[in-house]
Structures are given as C-alpha cells and as structure tokens.
Amino acid sequence: MINVFELLDRIAGKKYCFTDVFLLDVLQVPSFVEDIAVFLIMISSMITLFSLSVRSEITVMRSSGLSFWQILSPIAITAFLLGLFFVLVFNPFSIMSAKKLTRMEQKLISEEANLLAPPNGIWLKQENTLQDKEDIIIRAEKIYRKDLKMVNVNLWFFDEDHKFYRRIDAKNMMFDENVWHLNDVVINDDKNINQAKDYLDIPTNLKAEFITKKILNNFENARLFFNL
C-alpha cells in the first residue's frame, strides 16, 4: 500500500490507469521479498527454537538420545533448500521483474526519466563570444536530455583577468544552435541590481554533440553505477 501511494504521487498529473499502478506495485514485490527473505528465515528459526525450549521439548529430545545437530538439521536443511530456491529460481524472476518495472516507469513517468539532476548540478564552461578572452561559467540544477533544457540556471561572467563582474540567473535555459535562450532572467552587475527580464539570448560556442556526449553521458553513467 505504501508503494501504491508513492507511485500515485510520482505520476500525479500524468495519464495512467489503476491497472498500471497495480502492476508497477506487483513488480516491486520480488525485490522486496528478496530483501526480507533472509530475515524471515532467521526469525522463524529463532521462534521455532525458542518455542521448543520453552516447552522443554529440546530437553526431551536430547534425553532420548538425539544430538543437538539432529535437532537443528531440519531447520538447517530447510534454510539451505530455500537459499537454493531463491538463488536459482526466484532471483532470475526478480531480475526480470526489475527490468519490466524500469521500462514501465520510463513509459509512464517519461518526464522524470528524461530529467537528469546530479547532486552538484550541471557545470559548463564556455567562451564569452561577445568579449574576447572572457569566460562564462554555467551551472544548472537539472537538465532535460532530449531538448537540452536546463532548470534553475546561474551564469557567472569573468573578464580576461579572471575577475568576476556579472551574474545572470534564469528559471530555465534552452539550447539552440549557437545560442542560449533564457527565460525569467535576473541580472546583477555594476550597473544593474536584480534587473528582471522576461527573456534573454546569450551566444555560445558550445555544440549539442559536446553537451550530450561529454557531459550528459558521463553523468548518466555515474548515476547508473551508483544505482547498482
């Protein structure tokens, strides 16, 4: 039920049917069972031995000539067989469910799947094409891979002596050929303090191929690595 409410919250505002939500929830069950299986076996074994001890049945079995290993062997054999079942049968099924879950999430939550948000944001550096020997440092909290749209963007301008002299903040910034399109802009420099503009265009010497291959792919590979 917790998974259902979490899924409903994630796909709020998107087209879906309850069957899809239910299927997504079911597909999460195998991995959850794998996580708790070891603890279930351990706790059930402890409860069994505790119950036998409280009723003095272990003492009776020992007095009848059974060794302690003979008393424990049914539990040990059962745990071993369950372990084989989870490794040989259940684990491949769990992997298939996880792959199916990932595909369905990408389909239902396409916007989230398209969004990349590294912990420290996206960082880029480009030349200021309007001023020789000047640089612009770009930072964005999030970026959409398909259209290279950045969210919550900060641009710092540095002169030829590497001294900071201007900052531009934008709610979002869209990449186009040789230009950045900024929306909901705030400019701060020596002449402007929190000057607001609806939009602003800034030339760039960056290419879409560079951003995609050198920046996005690196972050994506890192995210996949740490999710393993």
Which residues in the chain belong to E strands, given as ranges?
115-116, 122-127, 135-144, 149-158, 164-176, 179-189, 195-203
- Give per-residue pLDDT as tens, 51-84: 988 888 888 888 888 888 888 888 889 989 998 9
> Could you tell me which residue, 11 or 166, shows the higher pLDDT?
166
Cross-strand pairs, 63: none
* Greatest mean pLDDT among 10-24, 81-95, 214-228: 81-95
> Could you tell me which residue, 16 or 224, shows the higher pLDDT?
16
- Give per-residue pLDDT as tens, 170-206: 999 999 888 999 999 999 998 889 999 999 999 998 8
Question: For the chain, what percent of residues have pLDDT higher than 70?
Answer: 84
pTM above 0.75, yes or no: no
Q: What is the pLDDT of residue 226?
A: 37
Query: What is the bridge-based pairing of β-strands 179-189 and 195-203?
Result: antiparallel
Rounded CA-CA distance 204/134 in Å is 12
Cross-strand pairs, 96: none
Please determine, looking at this structure, whether the domain spanning 116-227 carries the CATH number 2.60.450. yes
Average pLDDT over residues 206-227: 63
Listed by start position, the domains of the chain span 2-108, 116-227
Flag whether pLDDT at 228 surpasses 70: no
pLDDT confidence tier of residue 43, bands split at 50, 70 and 90: very high
Contact in structure between 181 and 201 (CB atoms under 8 Å):
yes
Q: What is the pLDDT of residue 25?
A: 80
| Total count of residues recorded for the chain | 228
| Locus of tokens 């398209």 | 114
